[in-house]
Amino acid sequence: MATTATAPAYTHAGSEAESGLWSWLTTVDHKRIAALYLGTSLFWFLVGGLEASIIRLQLMFPNGRVVSAEMFNELFTMHGTTMIFLVVMPLSAAFFNLLIPLQIGARDVAFPRLNAFSYWVYLFGSIFLNVSWFVGSAPDGGWFGYTPLTTLAYSKNLNIDFWMLGLQILGVSSLAAGFNFITTIVNMRAPGMYFMRMPIFTWMAFITQFLIVLAFPVITIALVFLQFDRFFGTNFYEIAQGGDPLLWQHLFWIFGHPEVYILILPAFGLVSEVLPTFSRKPLFGYPVMVYSGMLIAFLGFGVWAHHMFAVGMGPIADTVFGVTTMLIAIPTGVKIFNWIFTMWGGVLRFTTAMKFAITLVALFTIGGISGVMHASPPADLQQTDTYFVVAHFHYVLVAGSMMGLFAGVYYYYPKFTGRLLDERLGSWHFWLFFIGVNLTFFPMHFSGLYGMPRRIYRYDAGQGWETFNLLSSIGVGFQILGVVIGFWNFWRSRKSGEVAGNDPWGAPTLEWSIPSPPPDYNFAHVPRVTSRYPLWDVKTPHPEPPPQRASVSPRESPRRLPTAKDLGIPMPNPSIKPLFVALFMTLMFASLIAIHKDRVQLAVVLVIVFATALTASLYGWLLTPLEDEH
Amino acid sequence: MHHKFRPRRLARAALTVALAASALVVAACSPYPNSVFHPRTDTNRDVGFLFEILIWFGSIVFVVVEAILIYTLVRFRRRGVARQPEHVHGNTTLEITWTIVPAVILVFIAIPTVRTIFRTQSKGRSDALQVEVIGHQWWWEFRYPQFTKRSPTGKLDTVVTANELYLPKGRTVNFTLKSQDVIHSFWVPALAGKRDLIANHTNYLWFTPDSAGTTAYNGFCVEYCGASHANMRFRTFVVTPDEFQSWIAYQATPAAFVLPTPGQAVANNAAAVAQNPQLAQSQVPSNAQVAPQRNLGGNPAVGHAAGANAPTVPSAGPPGAGVPVAPALSTTPPTSQAGFIAFPRERMPSYTVPTTPTPADVRFDDLYGDPARGADLMAKGKGACLGCHTIRGNPSMIGQIGPNLTHVGSRTTIAAGLFPNDTRHLTLWIKNARKMKPGVLMPTIGLNEYDPQLGATVKIGLTDQQIADVVAYLQALK
Cβ distance of B31 and A365 shorter than 8 Å: no
Intra-chain end-to-end CA distance of chain B, in Å: 28
Which residue from A25, A87, A24 is spatially nearest to A51, judged by alpha carbons?
A87
B361 or A261, which is more confident? Answer: A261
Which residue from B185, B216, B189 is spatially nearest to B411, judged by alpha carbons?
B216
Task: Residue B228: list chain A partners with CB under 8 A.
Answer: 69
Percentage of residues in chain A having pLDDT higher than 90: 86
Contacts by B296-299 with C-beta closer than 8 Å and gap 24+?
A: B296/B364, B296/B366, B296/B367, B296/B423, B296/B424, B296/B427, B297/B363, B297/B364, B297/B365, B297/B366, B297/B367, B297/B424, B297/B427, B297/B428, B298/B364, B298/B366, B298/B424, B299/B424
The answer to the question of residue A528 being in a domain is no
Give me the pLDDT at residue B123, please: 87
Phi-psi region of B158 (alpha: psi -120 to 50; beta: other; left: phi over 0): beta
The answer to the question of residue A345 being in a domain is yes
Tally Cβ neighbours within 10 Å of residue A46.
Answer: 14
Domain stop point among A478, A500, A520? A520
Query: What pLDDT band is residue B103 in, cutting at 50, 70 and 90?
Result: very high
- What is the pLDDT of chain A when averaged over all its residues? 92
Q: H or E element: which one contains B141? A: strand B139-150
Cβ distance of B195 and A310 shorter than 8 Å: yes
Query: What pLDDT band is residue B256 in, cutting at 50, 70 and 90?
Result: confident
B312 or A159, which is more confident? Answer: A159
- What is the pLDDT of chain B when averaged over all its residues? 80
Give me the pLDDT at residue A558, please: 52
Instruction: Tell me, yes or no, whether A126 and A264 share the same domain.
Output: yes
Task: Residue A327: list chain B partners with CB under 8 A.
Answer: 106
Instruction: Tell me, yes or no, whether A463 and A594 share the same domain.
Output: no
Q: Which domains does chain B have, with CATH numbers?
A: 1-29 (no CATH), 129-251 (2.60.40.420), 263-476 (1.10.760.10)
Cβ distance of B95 and A330 shorter than 8 Å: no
CB-closest option in B73, B193, B351 to A463: B351
- In the predicted structure, residue A543 carries a pLDDT above the cut 70: no
Q: Which of A249, A348, A350, A446 would you mutate first to test chain B, the one with the most B CBs within 10 A?
A: A348
Query: What pLDDT band is residue A568 in, cutting at 50, 70 and 90?
Result: confident
Distance of residue B381 Cα from the nearest chain A Cα, in angstroms? 28
The answer to the question of residue A400 being in a domain is yes
Q: Give the number of C-alpha atoms closer than 13 A to the C-alpha of residue A110, restricted to the C-beta side.
A: 14
- Alpha helix (H) ranges present in A385-464? 387-396, 403-417, 423-449
ipTM metric: 0.91
Cβ distance of B73 and A343 shorter than 8 Å: yes
Instruction: Tell me, yes or no, whether A512 and A583 share the same domain.
Output: no
- In the predicted structure, residue A121 carries a pLDDT above the cut 60: yes
- Report the range of poorest mean pLDDT among A42-51, A97-106, A590-599, B99-108: A590-599
What's the mean pLDDT in B304-314?
A: 35
Total H helices, total E strands in chain A: 21, 2
What's the mean pLDDT in A567-593?
A: 93
- Report the range of poorest mean pLDDT among A275-284, A556-565, B265-274, B452-461: B265-274
CB-closest option in A348, A449, A456 to B73: A348
Instruction: Tell me, yes or no, whether A596 and A516 share the same domain.
Output: no
Say if B193 is an interface residue toward chain A (CB within 8 Å). yes
What's the mean pLDDT in B2-25?
A: 51
Say if A611 is an interface residue toward chain B (CB within 8 Å). no
Query: What pLDDT band is residue B125 in, cutting at 50, 70 and 90?
Result: confident
Q: Which of A337, A354, A355, A542 would you mutate first to test chain B, the one with the most B CBs within 10 A?
A: A337
Decide: B140 and B117 in contact? Cβ < 8 Å.
Answer: no
Cβ distance of A384 and B102 shorter than 8 Å: no
B57-98 residue pLDDT tens: 999 999 999 999 999 999 999 887 767 888 888 899 999 999
What's the mean pLDDT in B158-184?
A: 95
Give me the pLDDT at residue A301, please: 94
Report the CATH number that the domain containing residue A452 is assigned in CATH.
Answer: 1.20.210.10
The answer to the question of residue A597 being in a domain is yes
B63-72 residue pLDDT tens: 999 999 999 9
The answer to the question of residue A26 being in a domain is no
Rounded Cα gap, residues A525 and A517, in angstroms: 17
Cβ distance of A452 and B34 shorter than 8 Å: yes
Decide: A144 and A78 in contact? Cβ < 8 Å.
Answer: no
Which 8-state DSSP code applies to residue A572?
B
Say if A62 is an interface residue toward chain B (CB within 8 Å). yes
Give me the pLDDT at residue B254, please: 85
Decide: A524 and A108 in contact? Cβ < 8 Å.
Answer: no
Query: What pLDDT band is residue A522 in, cutting at 50, 70 and 90?
Result: very high
Give me the pLDDT at residue B11, please: 53
Query: What pLDDT band is residue B286 in, cutting at 50, 70 and 90?
Result: very low
Query: What pLDDT band is residue A415 in, cutting at 50, 70 and 90?
Result: very high
Rounded Cα gap, residues A203 and A181, in angstroms: 11
Query: What pLDDT band is residue A251 in, cutting at 50, 70 and 90?
Result: very high
Cβ distance of B35 and A382 shorter than 8 Å: no
A524 or A386, which is more confident? Answer: A386
Instruction: Tell me, yes or no, whether A490 and A409 share the same domain.
Output: yes
A257 or B261, which is more confident? Answer: A257
Distance of residue B201 Cα from the nearest chain A Cα, in angstroms? 9
Give me the pLDDT at residue A319, please: 96
What's the mean pLDDT in B116-123?
A: 92
The answer to the question of residue A385 being in a domain is yes
The catalytic residue positions of A are 79, 108, 143, 173-174, 257, 259, 261, 272, 306-307, 332, 335, 454
Instruction: Tell me, yes or no, whether A446 and A580 share the same domain.
Output: no
- In the predicted structure, residue B364 carries a pLDDT above the cut 90: no
- In the predicted structure, residue A478 carries a pLDDT above the cut 60: yes
The answer to the question of residue A323 being in a domain is yes
Q: What is the 3-state secondary structure (H, E, C) of A197-212?
A: HCCHHHHHHHHHHHHH
Rounded Cα gap, residues A474 and A436, in angstroms: 8
Instruction: Tell me, yes or no, whether A491 and A378 share the same domain.
Output: yes
**Distant-in-sequence, close-in-space partners of B156: CB < 8 Å, separation ≥ 6:** B148, B149, B150
- Report the range of poorest mean pLDDT among A313-327, A608-622, B354-368: B354-368
Instruction: Tell me, yes or no, whether A156 and A284 share the same domain.
Output: yes
Decide: A533 and A280 in contact? Cβ < 8 Å.
Answer: no
What's the mean pLDDT in A3-28?
A: 62
Give me the pLDDT at residue B8, please: 54
Give me the pLDDT at residue B319, please: 36
Give me the pLDDT at residue A455, please: 96
Instruction: Tell me, yes or no, whether A580 and A516 share the same domain.
Output: no
Query: What pLDDT band is residue A272 in, cutting at 50, 70 and 90?
Result: very high
Rounded Cα gap, residues B407 and B250, in angstroms: 9
Distance of residue A344 Cα from the nearest chain B Cα, in angstroms? 6
- In the predicted structure, residue B318 carries a pLDDT above the cut 60: no
Task: Residue B120: list chain A partners with CB under 8 A.
Answer: 378
The answer to the question of residue A290 being in a domain is yes
Domain stop point among A520, A537, A562? A520
Percentage of residues in chain A having pLDDT higher than 70: 93
Cβ distance of B89 and A282 shorter than 8 Å: yes
Beta bridge partners of B179: B135
- In the predicted structure, residue A592 carries a pLDDT above the cut 60: yes
- In the predicted structure, residue A9 carries a pLDDT above the cut 80: no
How many domains does one find in chain A? 2
Instruction: Tell me, yes or no, whether A510 and A588 share the same domain.
Output: no
Q: Which residues between 522 and 561 in chain A have a beta carbon less than 8 angstroms from any beta carbon of chain B?
A: 536, 541-544
What's the mean pLDDT in A336-361?
A: 96
Cβ distance of B95 and A334 shorter than 8 Å: yes
- Report the range of poorest mean pLDDT among A138-142, B103-107, B234-238, B396-400: B396-400
Nearest CA in chain A to B101: A330
Give me the pLDDT at residue B273, please: 40
Instruction: Tell me, yes or no, whether A593 and A500 share the same domain.
Output: no
Nearest CA in chain B to A74: B227
Give me the pLDDT at residue B255, please: 82
Determine the structural domain holding residue A368 and report its residue range: 33-520
Rounded Cα gap, residues B20 and B331, in angstroms: 14
What's the mean pLDDT in A459-473?
A: 96
